[in-house]
Amino acid sequence: MDAKSNMILDINDCWEYLRSTTIGCLAVIGPDGPDIFPVNYAVEHSAIVFRSGEGTKVDAIREHPATAFEVDGYEPETDTAWSVVLKGQAKVINDPDELRETVALDVFPWQPGAKNRFIRITAEDVSGRRFPVTDSAAWETPLSHVARAPRE
């Protein structure tokens, strides 16, 4: 592996990785504490935009707009993994002009049903890292290959 394989990512690399995929995990504070949801999203300048129906995510964002958003990936050709975390303030987009611009991002939810709310997370902090994946043999112990009882 070269020196770049195990490193903290600069901001440009973080945004490049954020643009390379469309699925991430949204972390919010709900009434019962922290919660995490998978969402599909698009990058809009220095923000993440996704769609949602009314419910847990939207309620949590209205109550506690500070959120975190994470994307992870694996590059099999280099046996390297990466992770990017974006922290910022989430806001339900209500302004008609902003909604028109956001609709053009082609953010399509995977689940059926009304997903009438567009939410923007404006980045306040973006960080990431890339690292080589350790061969699983490094974690083997004398008990790794012992037969186990079936689950009940």
- Does 152 map to a domain? no
What would the two tokens of residue 49 be?
Answer: 């935009």
Instruction: Note the pLDDT of residue 14.
Output: 97
- Does 32 map to a domain? yes
- Does 127 map to a domain? yes
Q: Which residues of 104-131 are buried (b: 16+ CB within 10 A; e: fewer)?
A: eeebeeeeeeebebbbbbebeebebebe
β 66-75/47-52 pair status: unpaired
CA 45 to chain centre: 16
**pLDDT at residue 9 above 50?**
yes
CATH number for position 86: 2.30.110.10
- Does 124 map to a domain? yes
Q: Which of 27-41, 71-85, 129-143 has the lowest mean pLDDT?
A: 129-143
**Number of Cβ within a 10 Å radius of residue 86:** 25
Q: Domains in the chain: how many in total? A: 1
Q: Domain range holding 135?
A: 3-139
The answer to pTM > 0.75 is yes
